A = this chain, B = another copy of it.
C-alpha cells in the first residue's frame, strides 16, 4: 500500500521534566495517526471509524522526540485479518526515526460488542492503495 502520513507539531505541555516529549504523548499521537488513516479509508460514509477498537499496541521508542520540530507519523503497512487490521507505523523527526509501532485494531459492531468481518470495500481499498 501507499504510505499514509500526518504531520504533528509537538505541543509544549507534551514535554516532561526530562526535557523531551513524554512517552504518553507519543501513544496519543499514534491514536491520531490511526484514526486519520481509518478516516482516509472511509471515504465519508463508508465506515464509522468508531467501530474500530484498539486491541493491542506495541511501541518502540527508538530515540528521543523534542519540542520545536515537526514529527511525521506514517502508516507504512495495513494488513487485514478476518475482523482485524494490523498497522505498522513509524515516526520521524528531523530525519531521525524516533518511533516504530504496531497496532492491532478490531472491527466491532459496537452496539452488540462483537467483532465483525472487515468489510469488502475496506479490503479492496487497502489492496488498491
* Contact between B50 and A56, CB atoms less than 8 A apart: no
* Contact between A11 and B32, CB atoms less than 8 A apart: yes
Contact of A13 among B16, B55, B58 (CB under 8 A): B16
Chain A contact residues: over half helix, strand or loop, or mixed? mixed
* Contact between B57 and A28, CB atoms less than 8 A apart: no
* Contact between A23 and B31, CB atoms less than 8 A apart: yes
Chain B residues whose CB sits within 8 angstroms of the CB of A12 once the complex forms: 16-17, 22, 31-32, 35
Chain B residues whose CB sits within 8 angstroms of the CB of A54 once the complex forms: 23, 61
Residues of A within 8 A of B (CB): 11-13, 15-20, 22-25, 27-28, 31-32, 35, 50, 53-61, 67, 110
Q: List 5 A–B pairs whose Cβ atoms lie within 8 Å, in order of A's numbering.
A: A16-B16, A17-B19, A17-B20, A55-B60, A56-B58
